[in-house]
Amino acid sequence: MVANGCSERPGGESTKANKGSKRDETVSGAAMRRTTKKAGLSSEAREAKDMIRKETGIIYDPHMVKHQCLWDPNYPECPDRFSKVLERCEALGLLSRCTKINPREATEAEILTKHSPQLLEILKATEGVHDEDFLEKLSSKYDSIYVHPDTYQQSLIAVGSAIELVNAVCGKKIQNGMAIIRPPGHHAMKNEFCGYCFFNNVALAANHALEQGGISRILIVDWDVHHGQATQQMFYEDPRVVYFSIHRYEHGTFWPNLCESDYHYVGEGRGKGYNFNIPLNQTKMSDADYLAVFQQVLLPMAVEFGPDLVIVSAGYDSALGDEKGEMEVTPTCYAHMLSSLLQLANGKVVVVLEGGYCLKSLAEGAALTLRCLLGDPCPYLPKLPPPCDSIQDTILNVIYAHREYWQCFQFQDTYNLKSEPQDPVLCSVKSDGTVDADETKDDEELDTVARHLPVVKYLGSEERPESYLTRDCYPIQDKEFQKELDAKLNILITNTKLTFAPNKVCLVYDERMMKHKNAPEPSHPEKPERISTIYFRHEEYGLLERCHRLKVVDSVLNGESQSGIAIVRPPGHHAEEDEPCGFCVFNTVSIAAKYAVEVHRLKRVLLVDWDVHHGNGSQHTFESDPRVLYLSLHRYDNGSFFPGSPDANYTVVGSGAGAGFNVNIPWNKHGMTDADYIAAFHRIVLPICYEFAPELVLISAGFDAAVGDPLGGCKVTPEAYGHLTHWLSALANGRVILSLEGGYNVTSISYAMTLCTKALLGDPLPMLQPRLAPCPSAVTTIKNVIRVHSKYWSSLKFDLALPKENVLPDAELSQKTEPFGNTNDMESFKIKGEGNDSSYVNANVITEISNNVPFQSPTELKGSYMLPASPTNEVMPNSMAKLNLDESSSPVKSDEVLHSSQCLVSMKEQTKSLESPMELSEDSSNFMVSSVSSLEGENQVWSQISSTSASESLEMITDNVSSFEFTTKAENEDNPLGSSLVSLPIQECKANIPKVSETDINFPTLYSNPRNIDANSNLQIRTNTFKTSPKLVAEGQVNLTSQADELIRKAADREENRPGSSREPDAGGSSVGGSGASGSPGQPQNLVDYLSDNLQLLLTGQMHAVIPLPSCPHLDAVREVPARGLDVQSPCMECGSVIENWVCLVCYTVHCGRYINGHMIEHGIETTHPLTLSFSDLSVWCYVCEAYVDNEAFYQAKNAVHRSKFGEDMPYAYGD
C-alpha cells in the first residue's frame, strides 16, 4: 500500500513537498468533485467515436502533358513537371493506396465565378488553333505565358479536378486528397493570364466550397516561392477566406515584383486582417525559417480562425535546387509543414499542385506530401540551424501588421517611438524574470528586451511593358552547378528513411494494476477505475482491435510499432530516485527514457510532461543530462501548488551539461484552458523540440488539467490533448509513446487519452473552439520562459518589442475584385448631410446597453454582426454641419444624431460568431451592429429598435445609459497618440428634457476646434459612469452643447501625451478626468489649474467623491518609495500602455488597469501584493479588502506621484 502524498521521515517532516500534499488539494476542490459523469465535457469528444480516418484521394489526368510551349522546348513549365511527380509517387507505392477521383472539365459558369467572360473567351478562341506565330503573339500580351492548342481544355480540366477533389473532401467521401494538375493557377487574375496560369484552380475550388460545399471558413496556405497575387486579389475583401502566402520577395525585386506582396497588405473592408503575406527578403531560406513561420504565425492564427477546410497551393519552387526560387527547403520539410495542418478542419485538407521547376526536388517534395496525406510518419528531420535574421524581421513585421486583428499575436511587448530612446534596449530582464526599467548595467545576470521597428521597403518596379518575352526568359543553371545539386539531392533522398512500422499503435494494459488501491479510503482519487475506464473507452471506440499489444518501448524502438500508449498506474513522475512521492512509487517514464538512452543507444530523447503537477522526480533525474530534454507544462501558482517547490519555476533550466535542457512552463493561476496550452506549444514547445530533433518522444500524459478534474482546477478539453499529441507525432519519425500519469476525473481522462490514441492512429480530431485567446497570466509565463531560454535555443528569437504607433503606409491593391457581400442594400446605411449630398460614413458610435459592462476594445467585443462594407469607402467630411439618419431608409430611426468618424452599435454580448478575426474589425468602411439579447437570450433589442418610431428608439437605446463619453484623438507631430475622454450625462436628465434635437447636442461642432481633432474619434454611450443633477440641465444652468464644446477644446489644448480618462478605475470606484500622465515635462500643472480646467465637471456633479476606508490590515505591506521616485509616464511592464496605469506599493512595478489589459489585477493575483496606487487620481485600492483606502502610510508614494503629475508636493492632510 502506498502512502498518500509524499513519504515522511521519522520526525514527520515531508522530504519533498513544503506546500501541502497533493491529496490535500481535494479538500479545496470539493466543489469540483461534485461534477457529474459528463460535466464540462464538450459533445465533440463524445461524437469523436464516429470520426474514423477515411481514404486519401488522388486526381490527375494523363492528358495534361499535352500543354507545352511549341516554340521553346526548354520552357520551365513543361510536361515533365507532371509526369515526374506521378513517376515518383508510383515508385513509392503511393498511388495504389489512394482513392482515384475522376477528373472533369469545369463548366463555363464555374470559371465565371472568379474570371471575366472576356478572359474566358480569349482562351476559348485558341482551342485547336495551331498557328504558332499567332499563339506566341497572343502569349506576349501576358506576363510569363505560353498558349498551346490544348491549353484551354487542360485549363478547364485542372479547374474541374480541383473542384471535384474539394467536393469529395467536403462530401466526406475521402479524408483528404491531392490534385496533381497543370497548368498551375494562383497567378491567374480575374481579367488576366499570368505566370504560367490561366484559370485560378484553388480560388475557383475554394469559391465552389463556399457557395455549394457547405463550407463557411477556408484557410488557403500558399507555399509556392512566388506570391499568388491573384488568389490574394480574389479574396482580399472576403472574411470567409484567410489567404496565407510564404514567398520570395526581396523588397519587390523578385517576380511578380508587386508592392502588394509585402506584409502590410492585410486585406480590405470585411476582409481586413484575413490576408497574410510572409515576404522572404533573401535567398537560401532553410527548413528552420519555414518552420518558424508556421510555428510563430500560421498555426496560432489557424487555430484561432478555425477553418472548415484547408487548401494548400503547393508549389515546390522553394525546394533545394530550384533555379527560380533559390531556397533550400528539403523535401522532408514539406511533409512536416503539411502535417501541422492535417488536424485542422476535422482533417479536411486538399493539396493542389502549383509551381516547382527542379524536377527531382519537385517530384520528391510532392511525393512526400502525398505520403503525409496518407498518414505515414514524417521522415526524421535533422537538428535545425537557427532561423536567419531576415526571417526574424519578417515574422515580427507580420505580427505587427496583424496584431490588432488577432488575439494570438499579443505576446510582444510594445514601446513608444516618441517618448523612448532609440537605443535597442528597452529594459533589463533579470534571470529570474523580474524587470528593472532603470537598470542599464552590463551584468551577466541580465538579459535585454530588444525592440524591432517594422519597415516597408519596395525596390521593385510595377511598370508593365507593351509586350513580354516568350522565350529564353528564365534563369538557367550551368551544367556543373546542376551536377553538384543533383548529387546533393541524391544523397538527401537516399538518406531519408521512408520506412514505417507495420503496427500504427502499440497499447499496454494489465488488469493486475487494478489491485493497487487504498483499502482504508475507497474515495482516494488515485483509484483503479482510472485505468479501467480508459481501457473500456478505447474498447467502446473500437480502438483496441486497431492497436498492437506488446511492450511499448521495445515495440516502438525495434520497429514493430510506430507509436505507443501505456495505460498504467500508479503514476510515476513525482517519484524520486530514493523515495516515492505524490501517488508515485517508481518513475515509469524516467525509467523508459534511461532505457532508451542506455540500451537502445539513443542520443536525444524528448520527455514532455503535461500533467498539471510538476514532475519533480523526472526533472531531478535528468537535470544535468543533455541527452534528455525535459519539458513540463504545469500549474505552479507561484510555488503554492503541489509539489510546492521552487524547482518548478521557469528559472530552473538544468545544470552543468544539462543547462537549457530543462524547460518549465509554470502556470500561476487556476482555470488554464486549451488556448493557454496551445499558445505554449506554438511559442515554446514546438520550436525547441524541432531544434532538439529527438529520436524518441515520451509523454508523461497526466490529464489532471482536463475539464472537471478535482485536483487540477483547469479546463483543457480532450480534443486539445489530441491536437497536442498530433503536433508531437511529427517528431522522431513518429516514434511517440504516451504513458498515463495523473488525472482524477475518470470520465475526462478516459476521453482525453482515447483522443490521444485516435490522433496517433491518424483519425481526424474534433475542431478546437475558434477565437480562443490565452489569458494574460499565460502570456506572462510564456514570455518569461522565452526570455530565460532564448540563450539556449536560437528558435526562441522572436521576443522583441514592437511600436505602439502605426508606422505602416496605406496599402491598396493594384487590381481589385468586387467587394464581398451584397452592396445593393447599402442605401439603407447612408447618412444624409445638408442639401442633397450623401456619403457613406465612417463613424464610431459604441453603445453599451447593459449595466456594469465596461468599455471593451475591439479585441474584446463578442457576438457582433458586420454588415456589408461601403463600396465607395468614403469618409464623411469634417465640414458637414448637421447630420441625421435618413428615417426613410435607415433601419435605426432616431431623432438623435450620433456623429463621429465610424459608426458602430455594440450591444449586450451574444454567442454568435463574428465575421472578423478578432470579433470586431476596426475597418473604417464598415457599419457594424451587434445583437442584444435578454437574460433569457431570446429578445433582440435591435429588432425592436428597427420597428419603432424615432422617439421610441431613442428611449430604448438610452434606457440604461447615464452618459455620453467622447474619446478624442488630437494627432500632431509631437503627440501622435494624444487623447482625452470627456462625458455628457444622459439618463438622469432625460426625463426633464422635452426633446433632444440636433441643435441641443451639435456633435459636428466638436471638430471645429483650433487643434483640428482628428475624425478618428470615438463616441461612446456608457452605463452608470457618473451621476449628475438633472435639475441643472432642465433649468438651463448647464447647456450640453456648450459643455461638450468646452470640454473637447480643453482636452485638445492640454499637455501632450495625456490619455485622459473618466472611466471607472480598476477596483470598482470612480475617478474623473485623470490620466496616466496629465502633466508634461517642463509644463507642470498644479491642482488649482487642473480643477479650473474641469470646472464644468464640478458644476454638473460629474466629479464626485468616494469615501475610502481610513485604514486596512495590510498597511504593513507598503514599502519605501524607490530613490529614483515615481514617474507617471512609466508604461505598463507587460504591454507598454501609458493609459490608466497603477503602481504596486509593495514592489513599485507599473501595470495597466482593467480597462486596458488588466495587468495590475494579474500582478496582484500572481504576487498577492495587496495595495496599488492609481496614477490617474492618486487613489489606493486594496485587493484583499476590496475597497479604497486612504492612510498616512501612503503619503510618501502619493506625494511622489503628485510631484511627477503636478510638479509640486501634495498638501499633507493627515494631521500634524
Q: Do residues 1093 and 1057 touch, judged by C-beta distance below 8 A?
A: no
Grid cell at residue 473: 526568359
Cα separation, 336 vs 53, in Å, equals: 19
Q: 949 CB contacts (<8 Å, ≥6 apart)? A: 893
Q: How many CB atoms lie within 10 A of CB 1126?
A: 23
Burial class (CB in 10 A: 0-12, 13-18, 19+), 128: exposed
C-alpha cell at 17: 513537498
- How far apart (Å, rounded) are the C-alpha atoms in residues 26 and 711? 6
Cell of 756: 490521444
Q: Which residues of 207-221 are buried (b: 16+ CB within 10 A; e: fewer)?
A: bbbbeebebebbbbb
Residues 23, 986: Cα–Cα separation, whole Å: 56
Q: Catalytic one among 67, 115, 187, 1163?
A: 187
What is the rounded CA–CA span in Å between residue 211 and residue 110? 11
- 186 an active-site residue? no
User: Number of C-alpha atoms within 13 angstroms, CB side, residue 1158?
Assistant: 14
Radius of gyration for the chain, computed over Cα atoms and rounded to the nearest angstrom:
32
**Distance of alpha carbon 544 from alpha carbon 507, whole angstroms:** 8
Residues shown for the chain:
1216
Q: How many helices (H) and strands (E) does the chain have?
A: 34, 37
Distances (CA, A) of 84 to 95, 317, 358: 13, 15, 10
187 flagged as catalytic: yes
- Among the options 574, 682, 1114, 1151, which is catalytic? 574
Angle at 796 between CA 791 and CA 801, to 5 degrees: 100
Closest-CA residue to 152 (of 178, 192, 125, 186): 125
Q: Is beta strand 696-701 parallel, antiparallel or unpaired with respect to 605-609?
A: parallel
In terms of DSSP bridges, do strands 349-353 and 309-314 run parallel, antiparallel, or are they unpaired? parallel
Report the Cα–Cα distance between both ends of the chain, in Å, rounded: 68
In the numeric block, which cell numbers belong to residue 1176? 490617474
Cα 159 from Cα 1119, distance rounded (Å):
71
Cell of 995: 426633446
Distance CA 979, CA 1011 (A): 12
Contact predicate 1172/1145, CB 8 Å: yes
**CA quadruple 853, 857, 859, 864: dihedral, nearest 10:** 60
Bridge partners of residue 1020, in order along the sequence: 846, 965
Other Cβ atoms closer than 10 A to 860 = 16
Q: Which candidate, 665, 740, 732, 664, places its Cα nearest to that of 700?
A: 740
Question: Catalytic residues, which ones?
Answer: 187, 574
